[in-house]
């Protein structure tokens, strides 16, 4: 099943921002994942064809980043950081708590397909450990009470994310949070707009 016309148009718009099509690979994969739900070998081949690169180059990138899903995930994906800072502050207790609440093991999806639970490497917010993300949006200083609140919202089918993002974070057009840039620098330069180099 090829990408939809809207997704293809978005891909071409993304490609036009870069000097070579290959530079848009990360963002194109994000679009493809949004369309298909995960990135299997057929999707990798389609992306490679679109960017005129070898499928193995796409596979290299997909296998490196856990954010690119190799199999379909639930409607919501909860990723609990179990790296050092979070582990010291109770990440494994939180995983146990979530497993008990959801009736699944880490790495599984609830039978109704609603929630996937996984462990993740450092999520880059160690000073606010323990940390988890829901669909890549951070929840900081997590407690069982916060988890209960999140699960109740998922039960109601609410979208979770926007309010969880630290306010100082910027967002790309594809919804991917990025590190803040110093004043006057655009993290997403448009075509023909030179990137400002810090002095």
By beta-carbon proximity to ligand FES, the closer residue of 62 and 81 is 81
Q: How many CB atoms lie within 10 A of CB 133?
A: 22
Output the furthest CA–CA distance in the chain (Å, rounded). Answer: 54
Asked if 84 interacts with ligand FES (CB under 6 A), we say: yes
Asked if 95 interacts with ligand FES (CB under 6 A), we say: no
Asked if 85 interacts with ligand FES (CB under 6 A), we say: yes
State how far the alpha carbon of 152 is from the alpha carbons of 58, 133, 159, in Å. 37, 16, 12
By beta-carbon proximity to ligand FES, the closer residue of 65 and 196 is 65
Which segments within 7-150 are labelled E, that is strand?
76-81, 115-120, 132-134, 137-139
Residues numbered 120-149 forming contacts with ligand FES, rule: CB under 6 A:
122-126, 129, 131
Asked if 81 interacts with ligand FES (CB under 6 A), we say: yes
Distance CA 14, CA 37 (A): 20
Measured from the CB of residue 149, what is the shortest distance to ligand FES in angstroms?
20
Asked if 83 interacts with ligand FES (CB under 6 A), we say: yes
**132 close to 161: Cβ distance less than 8 angstroms:** no
Residues forming contacts to ligand FES in the complex (CB under 6 A) are 81, 83-86, 122-126, 129, 131
């Amino acid at each position: 099943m090829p990408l939809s016309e809207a997704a293809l148009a978005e891909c071409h718009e993304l490609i036009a921002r870069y000097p070579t099509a290959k530079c848009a690979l990360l963002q194109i994969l994000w679009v493809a994942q949004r369309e298909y739900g995960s990135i299997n070998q057929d999707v990798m081949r389609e992306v490679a064809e679109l960017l005129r690169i070898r499928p193995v180059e796409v596979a290299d990138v997909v296998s490196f980043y856990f954010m690119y899903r190799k199999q379909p995930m639930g409607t919501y994906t909860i990723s609990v950081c179990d790296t050092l800072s979070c582990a010291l502050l109770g990440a494994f207790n939180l995983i146990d708590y979530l497993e008990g609440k959801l009736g699944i093991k880490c790495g599984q999806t609830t039978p109704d397909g609603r929630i996937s639970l996984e462990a993740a490497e450092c999520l880059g917010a160690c000073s606010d450990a323990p940390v988890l993300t829901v669909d890549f949006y951070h929840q900081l200083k997590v407690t069982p009470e916060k988890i209960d609140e999140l699960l109740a919202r998922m039960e109601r089918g609410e979208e979770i994310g926007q309010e969880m993002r630290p306010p100082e974070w910027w967002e790309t057009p594809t919804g991917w949070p990025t590190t803040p840039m110093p004043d006057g620098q655009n993290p997403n330069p448009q075509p023909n707009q030179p990137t400002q180099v810090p002095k």
